[in-house]
Structure 1
Amino acid sequence: MNLEVYTATWCPDCRRLDRWLEEAGVAHTTVDIEAVPGAAELLERETGKRAIPYIRVGGTAWVRGYHRELPQRLDPDLLVRELLGAAEG
Structure 2
Amino acid sequence: MANSNIDVYGADWCGDCKRAKDTFNRLGVAFTWHNIETEDGAADRAVEISGQKHIPVVLYSDGAFQVEPSATDIEGKLKELGVIAA
Query: Counterpart of 1:35 in structure 2: which amino acid?
Result: T
Deviation of 1:46 after TM superposition, in Å, equals: 2.5
Deviation of 1:58 after TM superposition, in Å, equals: 2.1
Q: TM-score, normalised by structure 1?
A: 0.72
Give every structure 1 segment of 4 or more consecutive aligned residues whose post-TM-superposition deviation is greater than 4 Å: none
Q: Is residue 21 of structure 2 the alignment partner of residue 21 of structure 1?
A: no
How many residue pairs align between the two structures?
A: 79
Counterpart of 1:82 (choices 71, 77, 80) is: 77
2:61 alignment partner in structure 1: 58
Counterpart of 2:9 (choices 6, 11, 15) is: 6
Distance 2:62 2:39 in 1: 16
Q: TM-score, normalised by structure 2?
A: 0.74
2:48 alignment partner in structure 1: 45
The 1:84–1:54 alpha-carbon spacing in structure 2 relative to 1, beyond 3 Å, is farther
1:55 alignment partner, SS class: strand
Q: Identity across aligned pairs (percent)? A: 29
How big is the alpha-carbon RMSD for the aligned residues of Structure 1 and Structure 2?
A: 2.2
Runs of at least 5 residues in structure 1 that lack an aligned partner in the other structure:
67-73
C-alpha contact 1:2 1:59 (8 A) present in aligned 2? no
Distance 2:21 2:49 in 1: 22
Deviations 1:17-59 (A, max 9, x none): 1112111111111010111111111111231111111111128
